[in-house]
Chain A
Amino acid sequence: MTLKKMNQKGFVVNTIVLACLFFLLALLSNTGAGKGNFFRLVLTPSLWQCGYLIILATSLNMVLGFMGQLSLCHCAFMAIGAYTAALMSLAFQRAGVFKSPKGAVFILIMFLSILCGGLLAAAFGFIVGIPALRLKGDYLAIITLGFGMIIVNVINNLPFCGQNGLAEGSAGSSLYKNGLGFGMKTKVTYLWVAILLTILAVVMMFKYVRSKFGRAIQAIRDDEIAAAASGINTAHYKVLTFAYSAFFAGIAGGLYACANGSISTSSFAFTNGGILNSTFVVVMVVLGGMGSLTGSIVAAVLMFFVNYEIKNGAWVAMLPSGIQGIFKYPMLVYAFVLIVVILFRPKGIFGDYEFSLVHVREDLAKHRALKAQEKAEMKGV
């Protein structure tokens, strides 16, 4: 069997399942169930949030898990994406391209704004990556932290981004009132946009890490000197991956802006206790497993559940009352769980395992066989 055929089987199965899931949700949002309060007020905003968190975590995993470079400015790229998308849609609306946030024109502009957010974030990823990626390890972490701080601080001081400029309020808090205008969670619509973009982004990242690019960056992670000695242009692949990852962070930012209706730089800042803080994204990636996009997805959803916005929400109310008490201090529990997981499973929940619908059973069997074989060989030698 050729490589292509082997992969196509999995591709077809995964696509069919994803498509079914997608249509189910799209249908749900239009039928009676979709009009219900639970769907509109709880499920839809939850899925929007999960969507951008998943993109955020998986895109950082490319840099951190696959390339082994610790970046602490991922949320700054997200901020760039969010502000670009917000300002663009605002400009279109002021120009009178669309009046109310509905219809084909509006959707087109929404996609365009989000895409531009991603592209600008990628451009910044490129600019930051060239100098920063010359450093390694802790020093890279610190310099990216510095760049992240500067980006957020400068956005905060741009006259057209809030603080001093926009008449409506401080730090862009009303940027969206006239833009995409999904409003707060009571009004989040167009769920399919979030789901479509999330699936697309994750699939694109999967393809990336499974190609020569993925092999090159994993080689850089394991041994940069040996990678260079194997003919890999390390600087090229590092900057490319950094920019590609920033692109998706920008897309996540665009989604975030759409979902929230208002944005403020303080949500992307380091000192902020919320979840859009670059260190938390790092935590998500490590918790899920560095080098496992599946792990990042699971960790992002987990992160969503401890998010303070949801702690008083409907999700907690569904739990048995005994457990609800935990969510009084969700971050405390989260920190505790994190320490325990790291202590007992230093490689994260998933390690570098990737979930695939066709391969679940085979994977488990293969894993066992491989372990046994390795053990036997090691003894033999």
Chain B
Amino acid sequence: MKNKAIVCRCEDITLEDVEKAIDEGYTDLEELRKKLRIGMGPCQGRVCIQIIMKILERKTGKKVSKKDLPSSRPPIIPVSLGTLASDKK
């Protein structure tokens, strides 16, 4: 456990997992996300994506532009199905 640095807390993804995936050729932020599920948990990428971006830039030597960031999706913060269903039609 000593050398484990968690970069995505929702999905338990370590620095090592990210570096390995980049070495395997997943050098696109979206592909990394879909390979590792980073940014798909309750935080929706708020914690991990910036970190992953930095790792990716360091490993590939290429700048990751803002337009390469995954889209923010509603409902932005988790909302219960009961709440969403409660507004009577």
A and B found bound together: no
B residues at A contact (CB < 8 Å): none
Interface of A toward B, CB cutoff 8 Å: none
